Amino acid sequence: MFRKILSIGLVALLVLGLLAALGGAQQKTLTVIGPWAGAEQEKFMPVLQAAEQELGIKIDYQVYRAEDLATLLPAQFAAGTAPGDVIFMWAWFIAKNKDHAMDVTGLIDPADFRPGILDPVTVEGKLYGAAYTGKVKPGFWYRKSFFEEHGLSVPTNWKEFLDLLEQLKGIEGLKAPIASGDGVGWPLSDVTEHFLATFGGPELNKELAACVCLPSWSVIEAIFKDWIGYLLGQGYFGEPTEWTAVLEEWWNGDYGLYFMGSWITGMVKDPNDLGVFSIPGNLGIVFAADYAFVPKYTQYPDEAKALLRFLATKGQEVQVQQGGHIATYLPVSLDLYPPVDREVAQTLVGKVTLPDLDDTIGGEFQTTFWDQLKLLWVAPERVDEVVETIHEAYDRACGCGS
């Protein structure tokens, strides 16, 4: 009997030990750091839930703006630590800090992604990050019901665009024809880059993003003065307002148009009421991908890399179904998109895909670009000063004239 009890006891201990080991494995918690809060976070959580089920891990999501991470991460890296296991961050920052990121070459197949989309996180042939879904920045959004109510139509040339703005300006109760999203300055940079691509041509944006030292900024100066500055001077743009707050105001009819990225489709009450158009004549659209990396200082390198791979592949399939995102992973079927996002994805047809200018260059240029655009929006008469300051910051960032 004693042997039987002892045997049963040993078996019980073995079972308890096995359960404890399995429980310990299940308790591994990885921290994902990303920029999405509010409505955008709600659309991201199903992706993380799918990852937990697929990988058998727990995920803690924390919200950090990239601007804050740019200050936080260098200090953490210097101490040999990191605040997360998978971190979404600017591509240029990942490449610049490759010594603190895990080499994930071979984790994903570049052929499965949009051409060139992984180039920003590839250094000397090695991959240090992965692309997630991207955001198309196609142009000015409007509510179809609003246009129908006021007898407005989508412009097909620049004169019709100006006529539309005048019509909007005459609508009683409107704060301004175009809502001006603001935060740290990036929404203003998006609309500015759209003007550059339209009136300077897609190649201008490509050259600027590639840090080409241009012999003349005369074309850029003209775009700032004759198009952006003109519209600002006419009062067609509203006062810069925090971008999610002004989104609500625009949706409620305080503005007629709002230049924003495709993520807007996942942030409004009725995406089927959305319409969008580029400035007539535009041939280039920014496709800005979100990038993530695994810091070398993660406690769970294997699990973190598996999570990164999931986010870059299957995670994109889950994300596009939530609305507001366009896949960089080519195997994602168009059938998975909500109707309005499918339309956005199709706006890329026949257009040159452009990098996000300020995100690509980053650093001092990015912050200067943002600050100067915020100045321009409230003081368009200082356009010459604004262009000169941006030009100087660009030359410093790109080593021009040195």
126-180 confidence digits (pLDDT tens):
999 999 999 899 999 999 999 999 999 999 999 999 999 999 999 999 999 999 9
Mean pLDDT for the stretch of residues 215-243: 97
25-74 pLDDT, tens digit each? 456 999 999 999 998 999 999 999 999 999 999 999 999 999 999 999 99
Phi, psi of 187 (to 5 degrees): -60, -35
Integer Cα distance of 182 and 240 in angstroms: 5
Q: Which of 36, 2, 10 is nearest to 263 (CA)?
A: 36
- CATH class of domain segment(s) 139-260+362-398: alpha beta
CB 143 within 8 A of CB 120: no
Q: Which residue type does 4 have?
A: K
Torsion, CA 164, CA 168, CA 170, CA 171, rounded to 10: 140
Where, residue-wise, is CATH 3.40.190.10 in the chain? Answer: 28-135+289-344, 139-260+362-398
CATH architecture assigned to 28-135+289-344: 3-Layer(aba) Sandwich (3.40)
What pLDDT is stored for residue 27 in this prediction?
Answer: 67
Q: Which residue type does 65 have?
A: R
| Predicted confidence (pLDDT) at residue 247 exceeds the cutoff of 60 | yes
CB 364 within 8 A of CB 392: no
Give DSSP secondary structure letters for 305-346. HHHHHHHHTHHHHHHHHHSS-B-SBTTS-GGGS-HHHHHHHH
Q: For residue 336, what are its two tokens? A: 């998975």
Residue 260, C-beta contacts closer than 8 angstroms, at least 6 positions apart: 137, 141, 181, 187, 190, 243, 247
HEC string of 182-208 equals ECCCHHHHHHHHHHHHHHHCHHHHHHH
- The share of the chain scoring above pLDDT 70, in percent, equals 93
Q: Which residue has the tokens 């995920």?
A: 59
